Amino acid sequence: MNEDQEKSKLWKTYYIIFGVMIGGSVLIVSVQAAWNAIQQSMSRPAVESSPPSTRSSPSTTLSIQPPPPNSNIFTREEAVNVITRYMEAKPKIFAPPYDRQLAGSLTTGKAYDDTTKSGGQIDYLKERNAWYEYGKYQVDPTGYFEVTEGQAQIELRVTQDFYYYEYGKLKNSYNGYSKVYRFTLILENGTWKIADRNSI
């Protein structure tokens, strides 16, 4: 065998090796592509059958949101508590320090104006160096209670001991004073306050 024939045989061997390598690479790439396609086709039904995410589902999101504020949820017991807090605050409102800010946290509208406006109850007491002292009290619902949007009305029998002083002297005393009132409450900035009070 001469030199040219040996070279020719050697090149054929190289071609065969290269062909096998290229063919193997193509085969590997083809097998890998086919395997990926199989995996994707197998995983797709699982994804499609999985339940929708709670983050993307409007109905699920709505179901876990807190309910919107509704003033009609306001109960009789809560209304009584508003009146009770006011009764407990009266010694600071209608006696030194004549706390107008405290009155504003519990009353609004006509009830607030009658207490704190110029010439109102606080000014009347200050001008006469007068004040009230309060003893025991009791608040009893009579049965009437009504709630509309942002407003409530409740009737209560209020029984209380209180004493009126003027210029340092006791002027009047009331023991077991009892009267039925209809209170109007208004929801103001998320807080229920007394807006008006009328005797029945």
Which pLDDT does position 187 carry in this prediction?
97
pLDDT at 83: 98
- For 119, residues 6+ apart whose C-beta sits below 8 A from its C-beta are none
Distance CA 171, CA 29 (A): 106
In a structure prediction context, what are the per-residue pLDDT tens digits for the chain, which is 200 residues long?
Answer: 555 555 555 556 555 555 545 555 544 545 465 556 555 555 444 434 444 444 434 433 333 444 444 445 899 999 999 999 999 999 999 999 999 999 999 999 999 999 999 999 999 999 999 999 999 999 999 999 999 989 999 999 999 999 999 999 999 999 999 999 999 999 999 999 999 999 99
Class for the domain spanning 76-199: alpha beta
Q: How many CB atoms lie within 10 A of CB 84?
A: 13
Structural contact between residues 60 and 174, judged by C-beta atoms closer than 8 angstroms:
no
The answer to whether 161 and 137 are in contact (CB under 8 A) is yes
Q: Taking the mean position of all CA atoms in its chain, how far away is CA 160?
A: 36
- How far apart are alpha carbons 199 and 182 in whole angstroms? 6
> Structure pTM?
0.64
Q: One-letter amino acid identity for 119?
A: G
Phi, psi of 10, rounded to the nearest 5 degrees = -65, -40
Q: Where are the chain's structural domains?
A: 3-64, 76-199
Instruction: Give dist(CA 129, CA 68) in Å, integer.
Output: 48
Residue type, 18: F
Q: How far apart are CA 45 and CA 41, in angstroms?
A: 7
Phi and psi angles of residue 95, each rounded to the nearest 5 degrees, phi first: -155, 160
Helix locations, the chain, DSSP H: 3-49, 58-64, 76-93, 100-106, 109-116, 121-127
Which pLDDT score is estimated for 73? 86
- Is residue 198 within a helix (H) or strand (E), and if so which, with residue range? strand 191-199
Phi, psi of 115 (to 5 degrees): -85, -45
**What is d(CA 10, CA 7) in angstroms, rounded to the nearest whole number?**
5
